[in-house]
Amino acid sequence: MAGGSQDLKSENISAFLENRYGLVDACKNMQGREVLVMISIGNVQKKDSLFGFDFEIKYDPGKIRFTNYITMNTLAEFFQVKDMFIRSEDSVVSGFAMNLNPFLPPVEGDRPLAGVYGQVLSECPDSSELSINSLEFTEEFKNKVNSLSGLKIYSKILDKPDRIISAEFDKDSIKFDKDSIAFVELKSSANSNSRIQTLQFEFDIEKYQIYKIVEAESLTDSIEIVDKEITESKFRINILNKNSKLPEKLLKLKIERKYHDSLACLIKLSKIVVDDCACVSQYKTDSLTAIDMYRDTTVNVIDDKAEIDIRFETYSNRIVIRSVDKNIDNLKIYDLMGRIVLDEPIQNSYYEKNIEALLGGTYIAVVEQNGKRKNKILIKN
């Protein structure tokens, strides 16, 4: 059809491909991974004498499946005859548009020439190259195409609120027994549409000279520990999820204390890494406080059954203290460096204090009463 001599009045133009649907969501089903590839050459005027064209697009049939020729809202819509041919064995899709009646006026308008509709096949973040192998016109066409621009289609895991994985400890703090050992479990939750096969957890240990995560074991048969790495201040572990759904209970961690220390230590789950195809875009981690049960020989510690209640209301940033029958003597709040950030006499059986001015972090509240004291861990966001 095409390839005749060009008129002396011809202008150099560019032809290019564009994806009208924008980003492709790798986590969607096939309907959600649509692509609409259009061939454009800019505004075509009546004087350009467009009476027909044909094209060939090179693509990767392993990554994209083309199914339909799109003519609606394109210049191809105004031609009498148009069709498309898909040759996946040659990795090309070709099409044409033309008028059989020689007396019909030329086609004009600021629309794409034509389009092809298909679907991205990959369920993982990926990209695919498309290029225009050829684009030809009937010999009457006044313009000359001097460049052909291809297209790169990206499929990504789009950031959506339900694409989240969270992991948290089963307790806010741990206390060490006489053998300097403590245990904590790691629980997790993920969107039911996620496809999590591999995970890596990284834990940061604030006072690594004293505390260390020394071992981890799986809490379910569907979780397999692949490998782990222990350094001075970090503990990394890689696990394999054998089921399509991530189980709630994952790991049991063994934490060892090297020697007694009067200050608490923050152990933080700092990073979660999942495989590329997991359909996870957001991560929620957790932290806990390791508390040495070393007892001060100069001050008795009130046991957990003592009738004194220390509460921290996170929604109002208030610490509330109640005693059943005796006045509370004093309140001290320490940060994790052992510095006193609040020291107040109370001399009452009820006390409340707004501690909104404190920076976010972990603190230890120490309540003194009749020569005894009781501790409370406060985690302020």
How far apart, in whole angstroms, are the C-alpha atoms of residue 201 and residue 81?
Answer: 60
Name every residue whose Cβ is closer than 8 Å to that of residue 3 and which is 6 or more positions away in sequence.
136, 139
pLDDT at 313: 75
Share of the chain above pLDDT 90, in %: 56
Mean pLDDT calculated for residue range 232-241: 94
Chain centroid, CA 304 distance in Å:
41
Same fold for the pair 12-156 and 300-380 = yes
Mean pLDDT calculated for residue range 339-349: 88
Mean pLDDT calculated for residue range 255-273: 83
Q: Looking at this protein, which amino acid is placed at residue 62? A: G
How far apart, in whole angstroms, are the C-alpha atoms of residue 70 and residue 20?
Answer: 12
At 289, the pLDDT band (50, 70, 90 cuts) reads confident
At 353, the pLDDT band (50, 70, 90 cuts) reads confident
DSSP track, 105-118: PPB-BSS-SEEEEE
- Residues 123 and 194: beta-carbon distance below 8 Å: no
pLDDT at 261: 64
The pair of structure tokens assigned to 308 is 């004194």
DSSP track, 225-276: EEEEEE-SSEEEEEEEE-SSS--SEEEEEEEEESS--SS-EEEEEEEEEE-T
- Residues 204 and 267: beta-carbon distance below 8 Å: yes
104, containing H or E segment: none
Domain 300-380: CATH architecture, name and number where available = Sandwich (2.60)
Strand partners, 151: 130
pLDDT at 132: 97
For 7-33, write each residue's pLDDT tens digit.
445 689 999 999 998 889 998 888 789
Mean pLDDT calculated for residue range 356-368: 86
For 157-199, write each residue's pLDDT tens digit.
999 888 999 999 998 888 777 778 999 999 999 987 888 999 9
- Residues 377 and 311: beta-carbon distance below 8 Å: no
- Residues 71 and 143: beta-carbon distance below 8 Å: no
At 295, the pLDDT band (50, 70, 90 cuts) reads very low
pLDDT at 202: 96
What would you report as the CA-atom Rg of the chain, rounded to the nearest whole angstrom? 34
pLDDT at 252: 96
For 308-328, write each residue's pLDDT tens digit.
778 887 777 888 888 877 888
Mean pLDDT calculated for residue range 357-380: 84
Question: Tokens 């195809």 belong to which residue?
Answer: 277
User: Residue 62, SS3?
Assistant: coil
How does 3-29 read in b/e, with b if 16+ C-beta sit within 10 Å? eeeeeeeeeeeebbbebeeeebbbbbe
Strand partners, 310: 321
For 124-165, write each residue's pLDDT tens digit.
999 999 999 999 999 999 999 999 999 999 999 999 888 999
> Residue 280: which of 201, 200, 164, 199 has the closest Cα?
164
For 50-98, write each residue's pLDDT tens digit.
999 999 999 999 999 999 999 999 999 999 999 999 999 999 999 999 9
Sign of the alpha-carbon dihedral angle for 305, 310, 311, 312: negative
Across the chain, mean pLDDT equals: 87
CB-based burial label for 139 (10 Å; 0-12, 13-18, 19+): middle
Q: Does domain 12-156 have CATH number 3.40.50.20?
A: no
Chain centroid, CA 249 distance in Å:
21
pLDDT at 5: 41
The pair of structure tokens assigned to 348 is 């009452």
DSSP 8-state class, residue 359? P
How far apart, in whole angstroms, are the C-alpha atoms of residue 360 and residue 375?
Answer: 19
pLDDT at 7: 44
Tell me which CATH code domain 164-291 carries: 2.60.40.680
At 336, the pLDDT band (50, 70, 90 cuts) reads confident
How far apart, in whole angstroms, are the C-alpha atoms of residue 348 and residue 329?
Answer: 7
At 370, the pLDDT band (50, 70, 90 cuts) reads confident
Delimit the domains of the chain by residue range. 12-156, 164-291, 300-380
Mean pLDDT calculated for residue range 38-50: 95
